[in-house]
Chain A
Amino acid sequence: MPTVLVPGVLRAESGGAARLEVAAAGQLRAVLDEVGARWPRLARRIRDESGAVRRYVNIYVDGEDCRRLAGLDTPVAAGSEIQVLPSVAGG
């Protein structure tokens, strides 16, 4: 099962869990859709209502920034780790 790693700042939305196991695989979009169904408040911090990943949220699939891969179409394997991290931003 793929695992979603939740940053500390968002764990209030995942019931305190740092690691979420999801059944979906295939593409990153399916993983995030499952997160949306099971942890909706976490999901809307990561993507806006159009489905786009928020500008200052980064998602790494097995250590690679999904924006440098295929975005939401990035392949996700059964054992993949999907790490969500807020980017360096703010003032």
Chain B
Amino acid sequence: MTVLLAIGTQKGLFLATSDDERRTWQVGPAHFSGTAIYTIGVDARGPRPRLLAAVDSSHFGPSVAVSDDLGETWAEPDSAPIALPADAGAAIERVWQIVPGSAAEPGVVYAGSQPSALFRSTDGGRSFQLVRGLWDHPHRPQWGAGFGGQAIHTVLPHPHDPARMVVAMSTGGVYRTADGGATWAPANSGIKAYFLPDPWPEFGQCVHKVARDAGDPERLYAQNHHGVYRSTDGGDRWESIAATLPSDFGFPIVAHPSRPGTIWNFPLIADSRRHPVDLRCRVFRSTDAGEQWEPLEKGLPAEPYYPVVLRDAMCADGSDPAGVYFGTRSGDVFATRDEGESWTPVAAHLPDVLCVRAVTF
């Protein structure tokens, strides 16, 4: 078994591999050196994983490069793979998310962008078309921008029903469709927006990441800009699961690839103090869908630790027991092969880690 860990950073994409049951890692040189990699899509539906890297040049704009040989070679189309149509009156500033569709729709890949827009590809991610139903949503003029910009950063196709999907944006909140993207409705009931005059709005929340439970696709977990929530009804209603966390602020939330109810996150002190709680590099895990959380730090740095883990810089692989990976803004990357009981370093001194994605083959 080989595990490939793709590490997107502020200045390039690094590919780490492990051939010894995830005990040791070999990290290759930077791909797309100097460009920011905010998201990496890994499409494992075919005979060999396809990597889709969102390559973001501060000078020359965003693009998407595709590799079918695990990063040996990359292909990029002549035309911009993700672009708004002429009548949109805007241009894509950044691609924040690339995810394959469900197994029921091979070749379909979705992308979320800044400004907030959803795109759909039917050719495996070589070219994308705007999902008009969301772009034309009457709420769009009121969606705001956080420090990272206004973006759709989370796309969760339903694993069994291609007509259904959840997206999340900052700011704006959670939206979902049940008709293949033709119409969309906000799904933020119970999620607080403390930074607005009305802290319980229909939309406008600053959700940082949403994950879907492996065993129950109607169960969702959301890490918000203050607030950690669970929905058991596909987003109809959310309830807090932050009671036993040391802080409800943070960016990533990751669900176990196969075991229901197991999730991980990385709490930070607060919006105004974005450091790990107690300055300790700790991942928190719940095995009961957020009722109880426990800190995991064996093998992680013991000295005071300041860097944060960004929204896509934590992921799980598809193994059992699951491997979990995270990278920090100081360029450290860590892995666990026992679901968080102990951690080992994968890499250090990389540029700021923006995203990680793992695939087993």
Chain A interface residues (CB < 8 Å from chain B): 10, 40-41, 44-46, 48-50, 52, 54, 56-57, 86-87, 89-90
Q: List 27 A-B contacts (CB under 8 A).
A: A40-B78, A41-B76, A44-B61, A44-B63, A44-B79, A45-B60, A45-B61, A48-B61, A49-B80, A49-B83, A49-B91, A50-B84, A50-B86, A50-B89, A50-B90, A50-B91, A52-B91, A54-B59, A56-B58, A56-B59, A57-B60, A86-B59, A87-B59, A89-B58, A89-B59, A90-B58, A90-B59
Interface residue? B57 (CB, 8 A): yes
Q: How far is the CA of A41 from the CA of B63 in the complex (A)?
A: 10
Are B58 and A49 interface neighbours, CB within 8 A? no
Minimum C-beta distance from A53 to chain B (A): 11
Minimum C-beta distance from A4 to chain B (A): 15
Residues of B within 8 A of A86 (CB): 59-60
Q: Is the interface of B mostly helix, strand, loop or mixed?
A: loop
| Those of B73-93 within 8 Å (CB) of chain A | 76, 78-80, 83-84, 86, 88-92
Are B60 and A54 interface neighbours, CB within 8 A? yes
Residues of A within 8 A of B89 (CB): 50
Residues of B within 8 A of A89 (CB): 58-59
Minimum C-beta distance from A81 to chain B (A): 21
Q: Which residue on chain B has the smallest CB distance to residue A10?
A: B60
Residues of B within 8 A of A52 (CB): 91
Residues of A within 8 A of B86 (CB): 49-50
Are B79 and A57 interface neighbours, CB within 8 A? no
Residues of A within 8 A of B80 (CB): 44, 49
Going nearest first, the 4 A-B pairs with the smallest beta carbon separation are A48-B91, A45-B60, A49-B83, A40-B78
Are A54 and B61 interface neighbours, CB within 8 A? yes
Q: Which of B60, B78, B84 lies in contact with A49, CB distance below 8 A? A: B84
Given contacts A40-B79, A41-B76, A41-B78, contact A48 B92 (CB under 8 A): yes
Minimum C-beta distance from B1 to chain A (A): 36
Minimum C-beta distance from A16 to chain B (A): 16
Minimum C-beta distance from B199 to chain A (A): 35
| Those of B9-41 within 8 Å (CB) of chain A | none
Counting chain B CB atoms within 10 Å of each CB, which of A52, A54, A89 scores highest?
Answer: A54
Q: How far is the CA of A43 from the CA of B84 in the complex (A)?
A: 16
